[in-house]
Amino acid sequence: MSMTSAEIRDAFLNYFKDKGHQIVPSSSLIPGNDPTLLFTNAGMVQFKDVFLGSDKRAYTRATSSQRCVRAGGKHNDLENVGYTARHHTFFEMLGNFSFGDYFKEGAIQYAWEFLTQVVKLPAEKLWVTVYETDDEAYDIWAKEVGVPTDRIIRIGDNKGAPYASDNFWSMGDTGPCGPCTEIFYDHGEHIWGGPPGSPEEDGDRYIEIWNIVFMQFNRHGDGRMEPLPKPSVDTGMGLERISAILQHVHSNYEIDIFQHLIKAAAKAIGSEDLENKSLRVVADHIRSCSFLVVDGVMPSNEGRGYVLRRIVRRAVRHGAQLGASEPFFYKLVAALIDVMGDAYPELKEKQAIIEKALLMEEEQFRKTLERGLKLLDEALADIQGSVIPGDVVFKLYDTYGFPVDLTNDVARERGLTLDEAGFETAMEAQRQRAKQASNFGADYNSRLDIDCQTQFSGYDGVRDVSPVVALFKG
């Protein structure tokens, strides 16, 4: 019998506990006091101030299984869901942290021991990358751990890109960052893809499982890199990715948690085809949507609430595509509780609130979904070439409530793209019209912003501001 995801989570936390780490519970998806970040996107987020030296803890070693959402901001994987074997909007990041305690040597040794001794991965399937100039990390891998040098790859900055890339990790535009070393698993030559750094690295054969970041700098808004008070360690391993390996499957969507959700989705929708991409999307989205509501986000037209709305609507559209004839999405909350309720009791506690929020959003969107899709089909019958005109995208958005990424999702399935500049122009024209027509002027708009902001930070934010937003929009 292979290990369940729950057992893997426990094995990880207990391994690091035995190595003197304090087990720290996952924090909320809404970063406590960090306005620069849309959602918690890594295990280190709740420790940001500890790395910076402005917060002190009773421990210098910690471990956690952190719930993360990557559906906006610097780390955005929404567009990857359904297309890769390894990306989710919501996932759990297993991590160990050193606050000025052990550094490169300790972090690498622990990771290697956990993978090869505790969960017993075959060493010959593991590849590692190090930051281009990090000879210290390179030598630890090559000389102390004994990884053959043809499986150690140096990777540098993505020159010219706004962020230094792969082997220099940063949480966002500002904050703690540093060079990293990553561990990849080779799923075998029957899967397309090449090792990291090769032209085929985007394939799903070599899957990144663990990132070990050597936290050394605080990046400021002006780009200045200030050294941190103490060199520290932050690591992150995707629970779903390590589960896939240990459950002898390739895709994350084949692991225990997802199989249960996919079956529940098929049943709720009335679909037979368990391999369908849309079912995977729905199974992914129920996790991010449920946990966002748990953490106080409600569907709305602004900020975090709009990200949630976009994800729900995407799920609803995929369900419709599979033939769902009535609301189905909220029914999956119970299935999620089956597989994650033990680790996250708050899911069960807030079950009724989550179901109600998702049902309301689905009912509201279903009213316009069908007509919107019809409009889109008509427009597509007319278009020349492969670009959906901006005014169609705008009408879908404005009249039928189609978030642009949802229209893009449909377009991509049909090999089409969107005229984004045309959409922006239509949007701007509408803003101008709204300004001229408004008796209230800018003050009300800014008040509306503030209203929504207040709601984002609320943990018991069961208030739906969308009617208020709609009022001002109208």
- Considering only 86-94, 132-140, 333-341, 370-378, which stretch makes contact with ligand ATP by CB under 6 A? 86-94
Q: What is the distance, to the nearest Å, from the Cα of residue 410 to the centroid of all Cα atoms in its chain?
A: 21
Q: Is 129 in the site for Mg ion (CB under 5 A)?
A: no
Other C-beta atoms lying within 10 Å of the C-beta of residue 235: 28
Closest to ligand ATP by CB, 203 or 422: 203
Local structure of 219: helix, strand or coil: strand
**Residues 172, 38: contact at Cβ < 8 Å?**
no
**Residue 18, phi then psi, degrees to nearest 5:** -60, -25
Candidates 21, 205, 241, 350: give the one binding ligand ATP (CB under 6 A): 241
What CA–CA distance (Å, rounded) separates 343 from 66?
Answer: 11
Q: What are 52's two structure tokens?
A: 């910076």
Binding range to Mg ion, per CB under 5 A, among 108-116, 208-216, 296-304, 436-444: 208-216
The site partner of 91 among ligand ATP, Mg ion, none (C-beta below 5 to 8 Å per kind) is: ligand ATP
- 70 interacts with ligand ATP by CB under 6 A: yes
Q: What token pair was written down for 206?
A: 């070599």
CA–CA gap between residue 449 and residue 194 (Å, rounded): 46
Indicate which single residue of 67, 86, 304, 317 sits in contact with ligand ATP (rule: CB under 6 A). 86
Min CB(131)–Mg ion separation in Å: 12
In the numeric block, which tokens belong to residue 79? 């567009």
Of the CA atoms within 13 Å of residue 116, those in its CB half-sphere come to 16
CB of 392 to ligand ATP, least distance (A): 30
- Residue 91 or residue 291: which is nearer to ligand ATP going by CB? 91
Residue 101 or 208 having the CB closest to Mg ion: 208
Stretch that binds Mg ion, among 202-210, 263-271, 328-336, 344-352 (CB under 5 A): 202-210
Using CB under 6 A, which of 12, 91, 394, 402 touches ligand ATP?
Answer: 91
Residue in the structure block whose two tokens are 């949802």: 406
Separation between Cα atoms, residue 284 and residue 90, nearest integer Å: 7
CA proximity to 182, closest of 194, 196, 203, 198:
196
| Total number of residues that touch ligand ATP (CB under 6 A) | 16
Candidate ranges 7-15, 102-110, 203-211, 370-378; the one touching Mg ion (CB under 5 A)? 203-211
CB 15 within 8 A of CB 237: no
Q: Does 211 bind Mg ion (CB under 5 A)?
A: yes
Contact call for residue 210 and ligand ATP (CB under 6 A): yes
Choose among 67, 5, 64: nearest CA to 240: 5
Task: Kindly list the distances between the CA atom of residue 314 and the CA atoms of 321, 346, 362, 388, in Å, as whole numbers in the listed order.
Answer: 11, 25, 10, 18
Using CB under 6 A as the binding rule, the residues of this chain from 264 to 323 that contact ligand ATP are none
Residue closer to Mg ion (CB basis): 157 or 391: 157
Q: Cβ of residue 38: shortest distance to Mg ion, in angstroms?
A: 15
Structure tokens at 284: 């992914």
Q: How far is the CB of 75 from ligand ATP (least distance, A)?
A: 6
- Residue 238 interacts with which of Mg ion, ligand ATP, none, CB < 5 to 8 Å by class: ligand ATP
d(CA 183, CA 207): 9
Return the range that interacts with ligand ATP (CB under 6 A); candidates 5-13, 112-120, 232-240, 316-324.
Answer: 232-240
Which span sits near Mg ion by CB under 5 A: 186-194, 205-213, 278-286, 460-468? 205-213
Q: What is the C-alpha separation between 208 and 206, in angstroms, rounded? A: 7
Contact indicator for 64, 23 with CB cutoff of 8 Å: yes
Interface stretch with ligand ATP, choices 27-35, 55-63, 87-95, 215-223 (CB under 6 A): 87-95
237 binds ligand ATP, rule: CB under 6 A = yes
Partner whose footprint covers residue 299, from Mg ion, ligand ATP, none (CB < 5 to 8 Å by kind): none
Nearest to 235 by CA among 35, 99, 53, 86: 99
Please report where in the chains the tokens 């987020």 appear, as a residue: 45
Nearest Cα neighbor of 77 from 91, 92, 59 is 91
Binding partner selected for residue 209 from ligand ATP, Mg ion, none, CB under the kind-specific 5 to 8 Å limit? ligand ATP
Note whether 240 binds ligand ATP by CB under 6 A: yes
List interacting residues with Mg ion (CB under 5 A): 208, 211
List interacting residues with ligand ATP (CB under 6 A): 70, 77, 86-88, 91, 93, 208-211, 236-238, 240-241
